[in-house]
Amino acid sequence: MTLPKFLESFLPSYDISKMDLYNPYDKKLIIEAVLNQGTTKEIKWLFKTYSKREIKNVLRNPSRGCWDARVLNFWTKIFGIKIHPIIYEMAILNLNPQPEKWERWFNFLKKRASKETLRRWQKLGLLKTTR
């Protein structure tokens, strides 16, 4: 299904004529863009187009570096969603270099990684030892 023209300004890096409202990847991009930048008109459209469950799923798994802090805080409070602090921190757009934040993120990922992923990271020199 084609996207409304007004979404073009929210997704300037994408050709919206090639996007699909219900493709999981496109859906996440659309929901994040509208929640981050939308006015009342676009937010109403979003809630008519997608279920609360779909919107909550996007908020539970925010893309890294895509969110304005106030906006993510607002929507997580509206929906009563708790996000792990490091996931929340990584979701916020911040152009300042923060090596300690990236180290916390990598350590967070290591705890959740499979043995195969850890082996691959070790081969790439990202890890000194596996679990």
Question: What is the domain partition of the chain in residue ranges?
Answer: 5-95
Nearest to 61 by CA among 38, 101, 29, 37: 29
Nearest to 9 by CA among 32, 33, 28: 33
pLDDT of residue 53: 96
Helices 52-60, 24-37: inter-axial angle, 10-degree rounding? 90
Spatial distance between the Cα atoms of 86 and 124, rounded to a whole number of angstroms: 24
- The model's pTM: 0.78
Amino acid at 113: A
Q: What is the pLDDT along the chain (131 residues), one digit of tens a residue?
A: 678 888 888 888 888 888 888 899 999 999 999 999 999 999 999 999 999 999 999 999 999 889 999 999 999 999 999 999 989 998 998 877 778 887 887 888 888 888 888 888 788 887 765 44
Residue 52 tokens read as: 């609360």
Helix or strand (DSSP H, E) at 120: helix 115-123
pLDDT of residue 130: 44
pLDDT of residue 129: 58
pLDDT of residue 131: 47
pLDDT of residue 97: 76
pLDDT of residue 124: 82
Identify whether the C-beta of residue 62 lies closer than 8 Å to the C-beta of residue 92: no
DSSP letter string, 39-101:
-HHHHHHHHHHS-HHHHHHHHHSPPTT-B-HHHHHHHHHHHT----HHHHHHHB---S--HHH
